Structure formats: structure tokens, C-alpha cells
Amino acid sequence: MDVPVSNVTSRRRPGRPSKAEAGDTKAALLDAALRLFAQKGYAGTSIRAIAREVGLSESVLYAHFAGKQAIYDAAMALAGPQAAGVAIEHAPEDPAAFVESFAAQVLAAWDTPQSRQVMSLVSRDGLIHDDVLNAGIEDALERLAEVFGRWLSEGRIRTDLGGPGELAYALLAPIAHARMLWLHGTATEEQRRRARDRIEAHAALFARALTP
């Protein structure tokens, strides 16, 4: 008797997790690692502790990550300054709307539990000059400068405020500063509200100043 093709394609070997299950496990391991990193620091967190936090063996962890450095890199890719690059891609073209949309998207990305834990890790372990972190910031500044440079050449924004690089830094620096102060792993609701208010006010002021 022939077996339907749909039944054949849906089967997997016994004991082998589906892609969805593997994705859930990897996400759970990353969440656990971020919690422990934020609490104990990178050096103070072991692979065994991360695996135990999720109730798994170390061998299962190594099936998803090559080691602790790989987990750290994944955390930075997920919740580091790369969010600013994504915000640039999805912001509207109008200069004033771009600035406020960019700030709102970055705030939303940086005010998640994972992102706040990353900031606690950075502060706890003195990683403010970490290569991964700095590369993300420099990439965001370069991409913002490209946008401002195009607008300057098109006469869409004021030309007396500075060059593309200066405008990029002037927009991003206060947002990043608010993140460092108030969007960490143990941030209270009041601190998170302060970050939101400061970032929104900065974006509104910058948008008004930018346009003729």
C-alpha cells in the first residue's frame, strides 16, 4: 500500500527535535544566559549554569552554541546596538518623521527584558568598549550619516547645524545615554518612563531643529 507523500515528508527521526523545538531551545538558552550574565557577569557564568537554568545538559547547549563566546555574540546581535540599523531601514523618508520614528523604534528595541539585561552585562563587566558593541554603534552612525548627507545635498534639512557625521552623533548619543542610565536589567518602571520621556523629547526637539 502506498504511503501518502505528505506523511513521508512530515516524518523525522525519533528523538530528533523539529526546527520549531530547536528554535525554542536556543531561545530559552539565550534568555537564561542573559539573565545569568546580567546577574553574575560574563566571567562568573559557566556553561553548566546556563544549561541547568533551562534544565538541560551541557551537550544540548553545545548542539546550539559553540561556547560561551558564541552565546555572548548572539546576545549582542539580538539586543545590542544593531537595533539602530534596523530602525534606519524601517523609518520613513520625511526627515522629521524619520527622526521620531527612528527614536521610537530604537526605544522599543532597547526596552525589552533581553536588551536591558545586555546593558546590565555591559555595565557590570566594563564592556562599554567591547569590539562587538562599538562596531554596532559605528555602523549605526555611518548609516545615519549617509541619510543626513543625502538630505543635506538635496536641501531638505538645515545646513547650518553641522555635517552628516555630526548630525548622526547628535541624534544617537542622547538616546544611547538614556539607555545606559535607565534601561538596564533592574530598571524600575519610573526609570523606564524617564528614558522614554527623555528620548521622545529629544527626538521631537531634534526633528523641529533639523527642518527649515
Q: pLDDT per residue over 124-154, tens digit each?
A: 776 666 777 788 889 999 999 999 999 999 9
pLDDT given for residue 134 in this prediction: 81
Q: Which CATH architecture has domain 16-72?
A: Orthogonal Bundle (1.10)
- For the chain, residues classed under CATH 1.10.10.60 are 16-72
Indicate the CATH number of 80-210 among 1.20.272, 1.10.357, 1.25.40, 3.10.310.
Answer: 1.10.357
Q: What pLDDT is attached to residue 2?
A: 39
- For residue 182, which of 168, 198, 169 has the smallest C-alpha distance? 198
Residues of the chain with CATH 1.10.357: 80-210
Residue 23 has what pLDDT? 62
CA angle 80, 178, 137 (to 5 degrees): 35
Backbone angles phi, psi at 162, to 5 degrees: 140, 175
Percent of the chain surpassing pLDDT 90: 54
